[in-house]
Amino acid sequence: MIYGAKTLHRRYTLKNPEKYMEKVAPPICKSSWEERIFLAMDVNPFITKWAYEPFSIYYRSPKFNKMSIYKPDIYCECNYANGEKQRYLIEIKPQKFSVMPKEPPPLKQDATAKQKRSYMKKIMRYQMQLQEVMVNQAKWSAAKEWCVNNHMNWLVLTEENMRGLFSTNARI
């Protein structure tokens, strides 16, 4: 789920069902951002086919130190106006779970009990975010390798780099 985005958990209504590759029901939107991405995939004229969580990729989880399964969010095929054809595997993730967080500054020696509690909460948030980023990096490393082996492009979309995607003239 994308944090900070409105949680939906409802089926996306396909505008161009012939473009959606899955023969089962349309995808379930888990956030307003996913819904916007689905719409962009659905109506963009360069995108000829797309699917939601279509592949399972194995990776070693640094959190549990064991093999786990990762399902990237979107697969799409594009035919551009110049005749170029490209395939993409795309992950949708908040920027804060894409880059290493900054560690909170150390607590001062004369800190009050309230400041100590606040600091401990910051440390716990930092450790959780750090762990999330490390797991994501492991998933994405496996996905990049999978894409190379399957002649695809790999993208991670965040709020920082996906603003122009929602135009029907946009190229991935």
- CA separation for the pair 29, 23 (Å, rounded): 17
- Specify burial of residue 2 (Cβ count, 10 A radius: 0-12, 13-18, 19+): buried
Percent of the chain with pLDDT over 90: 70
Q: What is the pLDDT of residue 145?
A: 98
Give per-residue pLDDT as tens, 23-51. 878 899 888 888 889 999 999 999 999 99
Give per-residue pLDDT as tens, 135-161. 999 999 999 999 999 999 999 998 888
Provide the H-helix boundaries in the chain.
32-43, 113-149
Measured on CA atoms in the order 81, 82, 85, 90, is the torsion positive or negative?
negative
Confidence category of residue 169, pLDDT binned at 50, 70, 90:
low
Confidence category of residue 166, pLDDT binned at 50, 70, 90:
low
What's the token pair of residue 125? 């948030």
Give per-residue pLDDT as tens, 5-21. 555 688 999 999 999 99
- Higher pLDDT: 127 or 3? It is 127
What's the token pair of residue 58? 């194995």
Q: What is the pLDDT of residue 15?
A: 95
Do 72 and 102 contact (CB within 8 A), yes or no? no
Taking residues 79-103, what's their average pLDDT?
A: 92
Beta strand pairing call for 153-157 and 57-61:
unpaired
Q: What is the DSSP letter of 16?
A: S
What's the token pair of residue 54? 């279509």
